[in-house]
Amino acid sequence: MYGSSLSTLGEFGLIDLIRTRFPQPSPPELGIGDDAALLVPAPGRQLAVSTDLLAEGVHFDRSCGPDRLLGRKSLAVNLSDLAAMGAVPRWFFLSLALPAGFPLAGIEAILDGLAEQATDHGCLLAGGDTCGSKSGLVISVTIMGEQVPELLVTRSGARPGDDIWVSGTLGDAALGLTILMQNHTGLADGSAAEFVVSRHLDPTPRCRLGQRLAESGLISAMIDISDGLLADLGHVCRQSGCGAEVWLKELPRSPAFEELAGVFPDYPWHLAAAGGEDYELCFTAAPEQRAAIAGVGKNTGIPLTVVGKVTRSFGRVQAIMPDGSLFQPPASGYTHF
């Protein structure tokens, strides 16, 4: 139907291929097909907008996993940004830069993964762009969500004395990437390795949890953990004018992480504290809210753990080892430059 190659398909054929795979906004809204999309937020709601770009050779290696999972992840990282503000996903825009000769089967698999993730979260494709690439594949997604203005959570509300919480478990994605990149002997196979690799290739955005936390009014600040807990917590501290102390012994680690940790000469605290790409939520709240917050976790089925406290030391994030000594990570988290 579309030809056997990207060059045969052409730009407009590619756009048509994309459009047929995604439901479109309904009137009075307008999606793909015009110079701009026309979108209508619900009455009394404020828009939250986020953009993420994934570049081949920087953010992903296509040989590490199926293209379908790459499609899922390219939307998941944007959904996670909305989750961190408590916003409800509504629309997204997709831009693709494709190298000459990129296989149509790969494009279709990426679109399949995107469509799965969009359907799971009720998010509609409203537009985007396509072009050629003289290097690798580039996937750029801009997402738009909405929420009642007073319920939106930012990074700037943490206060000294607040608890620091995280959702789920930490370090799995970084350990999964380590396995993929270094292929540690004895780690390539087995259910534990498969679990942590899947956490890297197919992260789960905590949208429902983020919305419930925002609607509860219990928390003071929130961020998603994309660059590593210590680095992302540093963003909260700078925006809030405070500091943080993290207790490594309290960091939640999965059974798979614990099983695989023994292959390292030293316990891999750096993966849990600074590894990145967990796409869990980190948030702060007053200590008297602990019971109520635990109830939110129970209702959403996602474990929530207190891992530290907010301090008065502006911009300073300290991590404390189980023996009480100061942890010195090889890096505080991922940085592009």
| DSSP notation for 33-75 | TSSS-B--PPTT-EEEEEEEEEEBTTTB-GGGS-HHHHHHHHH
Tell me which residue of 238, 242, 216, 218 sits closest to 308, measured CA to CA. Answer: 242
Q: Tell me whether residue 334 is annotated as binding.
A: yes
Only one residue has tokens 């959702």, namely 167
The answer to whether 67 is a known ligand-binding residue is no
Residue 266, marked binder? no
Outline where the chain has alpha helix (H). Answer: 6-20, 67-83, 104-120, 172-182, 191-201, 207-216, 229-240, 255-261, 269-274, 290-300
323 is in an annotated binding site: no
Element (H, E) at 96: strand 88-99
- Count Cβ neighbours within 10 Å for each residue of 219-241 and write b for 16 or more, e otherwise: bbbbbbbbbbbbbbbbbbbebbe
Asked if residue 277 belongs to a known ligand binding site, the reply is yes
232 and 225 in contact (C-beta within 8 Å)?
yes
pLDDT along the chain (337 residues), means of 10: 66 85 89 91 96 93 93 98 98 95 93 97 95 94 98 98 98 94 60 94 97 98 97 97 98 97 93 96 98 97 98 94 91 58
Dihedrals φ, ψ of 83, to 5°? -60, -40
259 marked as part of a ligand binding site: no
Q: Are 116 and 66 in contact (CB under 8 A)?
A: no
Q: Which domains does the chain have, with CATH numbers?
A: 6-150 (3.30.1330.10), 163-320 (3.90.650.10)
Is 129 among the annotated ligand-binding positions? yes
The answer to whether 162 is a known ligand-binding residue is no
Q: What is the pLDDT of residues 173-224, one digit of tens each?
A: 999 999 998 764 444 567 999 999 999 999 999 999 999 999 999 999 999 9
Please check if 189 is assigned to a binding site.
no
